[in-house]
Amino acid sequence: MERDEEDLVRLYLTDIGQYQLLTKDDEVELAQAIEAGAAARAELEEQGRSVSPARRRELRKLSRAGEAAERRFVQSTCGWWCRSRRSTRPPASRCWT
């Protein structure tokens, strides 16, 4: 592995190590937020301008919360997966192989 690749791998592993692993309850909470966000986006698309301004604000808030939950889930899951792979492979391993 070239020096630049090693630096990128190290940077990536350091980055994903910053996220806490999820508990079962965390996963349920995030899944519910992701689903609520998807439903909110669908309602916004279907209803369009017929949604009241207050409801539109609420739907946008739910949508943003769903997107944030999805990011947290992906980051935490990737961190877990890469840490578990690293613990069973030689130190120079790449977690994506």
**Regarding predicted confidence, which is higher, 66 or 83?**
66
Q: What is the pTM of this model?
A: 0.65
SS3 state at 89: coil
**Which is higher by pLDDT, 13 or 69?**
69
At 19, the amino acid letter reads Y
Q: What's the structural domain count of the chain? A: 1
Q: Is residue 1 part of a domain?
A: no
Residue 13 maps to a domain: no
61 inside domain: yes
Is residue 9 situated within a structural domain?
Answer: no
Contact 43, 51 (CB under 8 A): yes
Helix (H, G, I), strand (E, B) or coil at 19: coil
93 pLDDT higher than 50: no
Q: How far apart are CA 70 and CA 38, in angstroms?
A: 10
Mean pLDDT of 29-39: 97
Q: Are 69 and 30 in contact (CB under 8 A)?
A: yes
- Please check whether residue 5 lies inside any domain of the structure: no
Average pLDDT of the segment spanning 49-78? 92
Domain for residue 66, yes or no?
A: yes
| Structural domain span for residue 65 | 19-87
Residue 44 belongs to some domain of the structure: yes
Residue 7 inside a domain? The answer is no
66 token code pair: 């769903």
**Which pLDDT band holds residue 26 (cuts at 50, 70, 90)?**
very high
Q: What is the mean pLDDT of the chain?
A: 81
Cα–Cα distance for residue pair 19/75, rounded to 1 Å: 7
